[in-house]
Amino acid sequence: MRPRTLPLAAAACAALLATAALPSYASGPAGAPSPKEGSVGAAELLAKVTSCSQLSNGKYRTDEETSATIPVCGKNGAVFWKADMDVDCDGQRTSKCNENTDPWYQDDTAFHQSNGKPLRADSLPYVVVPSVSGIWNYSGAGIKGGGVVAVIYNNKVEYAVVGDTGPTKIIGEASYATAQALGIDPDPESGGTDSGVTYILFKNSQVSPIESHSAAVSLGDRLARQFIRAN
């Protein structure tokens, strides 16, 4: 993840043009959100994160241009935050994620597949966590690479893994595949959404292998049910 440096006006203009051009972020079956994952509904999870017991020593920005308003909050068995979603295309170079499609593209991710290769952003739902700083240390909170995340947007739950790290002062980013599955425009330059995304990261969890989305869904659903019971 890299801090987005596009001026807000330009980004807003791009979003408006995209909205005017399409009734949703894409057309056809390839653009449709994936079927429901797991047995726990979005409303059940959101009901458990209505208040924040702040864990972070400060708050995060959602973009370079915004003020710091987003805390990392704690619950039994999880940490969570409510933010925007910028689209991360870092990792393996593909037709959807490369230097031409993403001005901030990097060919690596903080955590790697079981074969040592970087993750693939356009096919694997993953979430970016802020790099360790005085604001918050994700590893000290029981969050690790490959940990399970329930990402909630527009009454839909998508399970992802912790797959990359980003700037120390910015929060709210997930892979191309995560955005696409939630019905969010996955374009790494002009897509994403400005608000309305909840990220629930389950402590001390780890998907093996990290690149198995089905394993993330299976483990995520089990941990989500435990989370509901414990909070």
Q: Which CATH code for domain 36-230?
A: 2.40.40.10
Round to whole Å and give the CA distance between 143 and 205.
7
Q: Are 203 and 227 in contact (CB under 8 A)?
A: no
**What is the structure's pLDDT at 152?**
98
Contacts of 108 (CB under 8 A, 6+ apart): 90, 91, 118
What are the structure tokens assigned to 3, written together?
């801090």
Residue 24 has pLDDT above 70, yes or no: no
Put simply, whether the predicted model's pTM sits higher than 0.85 gets the answer: yes
Q: Where are the domains of the chain?
A: 36-230
**What is the structure's pLDDT at 214?**
97
**What is the structure's pLDDT at 36?**
74
Round to whole Å and give the CA distance between 19 and 115.
39
DSSP string for 94-154: -SSSSTTT-TT--S--SSB-TTSPBP-TTTS-EEEEEPS-SS--TGGGT--TT-EEEEEET
What are 170-212's pLDDT values in tens digits? 999 999 999 999 999 999 999 999 999 999 999 999 999 999 9
CA 7 to chain centre: 22
What's the first-to-final CA gap in the chain, in angstroms? Answer: 31
Round to whole Å and give the CA distance between 138 and 162.
10
* Coil vs helix vs strand at 40: coil
- For the chain, how are helix, strand and coil distributed in percent, rounded to 5? 20, 25, 55
Give the percent of the chain with pLDDT over 70: 85
**What is the structure's pLDDT at 140?**
96
**What is the structure's pLDDT at 69?**
98
What dihedral angle (degrees, nearest 10) is formed by the CA atoms of 117, 118, 123, 127? 140
What are 84-124's pLDDT values in tens digits? 999 999 999 999 999 999 999 999 999 999 999 999 999 99
Residue 25 has pLDDT above 80, yes or no: no
What dihedral angle (degrees, nearest 10) is formed by the CA atoms of 171, 173, 178, 183? 90
pLDDT range class, residue 35, cuts 50, 70, 90: low
Round to whole Å and give the CA distance between 58 and 17.
35
Give the percent of the chain with pLDDT over 90: 84
